[in-house]
């Protein structure tokens, strides 16, 4: 796996699946976030989407990855894995990532972008500060956002926020990668 700060063509293929998972989350009535855990050989070991609509605000896909990895992978396997995600980790997910010793993070859109998209539609930034991953988890290699996919992610959030304006409500919160 690439250890640089640049989103590569290989990274982008995994990020595309994350965007698909984000779309699935939105279709299911959740906020549009999706993530993958990929091992050092390029095999997807775990994937998930946001599942906060039923009231558990910790059901972010990045947090689910950390939980799964802690139970199922050795410390070496965790440290050599890459987490791909449609949106930059929130502080909760960044901390979980660091605590279980996962490796590189690659994201399609940043927390800063999400806050700007939300504010442009009259919504607040969310219940926690939209901190960059390395402000919470220093030393984790991070790449993103990816300009090739950020507009697609923005469109998913616009759809969700438009539904909220139309009275259909948000799924469960307002934070950088979920509630």
What local confidence, expressed as pLDDT, does residue 179 receive?
37
Rg (CA), the chain: 15
User: For the chain, how many helices (H) and strands (E)?
Assistant: 7, 5
CA torsion through residues 73, 75, 80, 82, sign:
positive
For the domain bounded by 9-165, which CATH number is listed?
3.40.140.10
Residue 120 burial by CB count (10 A; 0-12/13-18/19+): exposed, middle or buried?
A: exposed
Q: Quick check: 7 pLDDT over 90?
A: yes
Q: Quick check: 1 pLDDT over 50?
A: no
User: Averaged over 108-120, what is the pLDDT?
Assistant: 95
User: Averaged over 63-72, what is the pLDDT?
Assistant: 99
| Segments making up each domain of the chain, as ranges | 9-165
Quote the pTM value. 0.89
What local confidence, expressed as pLDDT, does residue 126 receive?
87
Contact 52, 61 (CB under 8 A): no
Written as one string, the DSSP assignment of 31-81 is -S-EEEEE-TTS-EEEEEE---TTS-TT--HHHHHHHHHHHHS-HHHHHT-
pLDDT level of residue 165 (50, 70, 90 thresholds): low
Q: Report DSSP state, residue 129.
A: -
Q: Which of 32-41, 111-120, 168-177 has the lowest mean pLDDT?
A: 168-177
Q: pLDDT tens digit string along 124-141?
A: 988 999 999 999 999 999
Q: What angle do CA 122, 126, 127 make, to 5 degrees?
A: 140
Q: Quick check: 166 pLDDT over 90?
A: no
């Amino acid at each position: 796996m690439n250890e640089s700060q640049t989103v590569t063509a290989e990274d982008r293929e995994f990020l595309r699946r994350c965007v698909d998972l984000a779309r699935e989350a939105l279709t299911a009535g959740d906020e549009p976030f999706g993530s993958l855990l990929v091992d050092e050989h390029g095999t997807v070991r775990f994937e998930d989407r946001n599942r906060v609509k039923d009231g558990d605000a910790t059901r972010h896909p990045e947090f689910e990855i950390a939980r799964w990895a802690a139970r199922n992978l050795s410390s070496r396997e965790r440290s050599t894995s890459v987490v791909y995600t449609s949106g930059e980790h929130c502080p909760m997910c960044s901390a979980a990532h660091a605590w279980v010793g996962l490796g590189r993070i690659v994201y399609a859109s940043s927390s800063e972008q999400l806050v700007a998209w939300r504010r442009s539609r009259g919504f607040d930034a969310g219940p926690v500060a939209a901190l960059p991953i390395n402000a919470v988890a220093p030393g984790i290699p991070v790449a993103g956002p990816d300009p090739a996919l950020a507009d697609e992610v923005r469109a998913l959030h616009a759809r969700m926020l438009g539904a909220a304006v139309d009275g259909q409500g948000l799924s469960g919160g307002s934070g950088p990668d979920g509630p």
